[in-house]
Amino acid sequence: MSNEILWAIGRGTGVVASVLLTVAVMLGIYGRSARTFLGIPRFAMISIHRTASLFSVVFTLVHVLTVTLDQYTNLTFINAFIPFTSSNEPLWYGLGAIALDLLLAISVTGMLRSYIGEKTFHAVHWLAYASWPIAIIHGLGAGTDSSSAWYLLLTVACLLAVGAMAAWRVLPRFSDYSYARTKERVL
């Protein structure tokens, strides 16, 4: 496969992975509320969150595979998983490796949730709040489209969307689902 094809696939999957991760983070925040959205039941929202999360991991893995196979990036699989080991753009690729490692930790604990317990799952799941901005910064620093208007607008839209959800999450009227569920048990 030519480097141009790998580059195009790497670019596209990186952008799609960022958007899907944004959607997953937003739905993860929304799923913690005790609300439905447009009549969609909470269980369906959780299913959509998990699906967006799964696809963000799939697109991220294809992104990693294609950029490591692309000879221009001069990246190895080790560079993709161990931060700041790349000889080419060590900061930006290192941030990508951190985001990938965090995303994989979140994914593995999600799959092992019934074995590791809710507290461990939720503690690791909080890493999503770190993986998302690190992935966004990685895209801005390492992405070949990072100076183009469409990419900057897309990134700003992602930042505003997650920022608005995070701001809503910390408001007193958020009504955390786990708190509401615990309150129901007490009553």
Specify the amino acid at residue 112.
Answer: L
Exposed, middle or buried by CB within 10 Å (0-12, 13-18, 19+), for 146? Answer: middle
Q: Are 109 and 137 in contact (CB under 8 A)?
A: no
For the cut 60, the answer to whether the pLDDT of residue 74 exceeds it is yes
In a 3-state reduction of DSSP, which class is residue 37? strand
pLDDT at 18: 97
- How many angstroms separate the first and last alpha carbons of the chain? 63
How far is the CA of 4 from the CAs of 74, 76, 145, 147, 148, in angstroms? Answer: 14, 18, 15, 19, 19
For the cut 50, the answer to whether the pLDDT of residue 187 exceeds it is no
For the cut 60, the answer to whether the pLDDT of residue 130 exceeds it is yes
For the cut 70, the answer to whether the pLDDT of residue 176 exceeds it is no
Q: What is the pLDDT of residues 22-53, one digit of tens each?
A: 999 999 888 777 677 778 888 888 899 999 99
For the cut 90, the answer to whether the pLDDT of residue 72 exceeds it is no
Q: What is the pLDDT of residues 94-111, one digit of tens each?
A: 999 999 999 999 999 999
Which of 5-9, 46-50, 177-181 comes out lowest in average pLDDT? 177-181
For the cut 90, the answer to whether the pLDDT of residue 158 exceeds it is yes
**pTM for this entry:** 0.88
**Mean pLDDT over each residue of the chain, to the nearest integer:** 89
Nearest in space to 50 (alpha carbons), one of 23, 68, 69: 23
Write the CB contacts of 141 (distance below 8 Å, at least 6 apart in sequence): 89, 91, 92, 95
Give the highest mean pLDDT range of 7-16, 35-44, 167-176: 7-16
pLDDT at 131: 95
Q: Mean pLDDT throughout 86-96?
A: 96
pLDDT at 2: 81
In a 3-state reduction of DSSP, which class is residue 178? helix
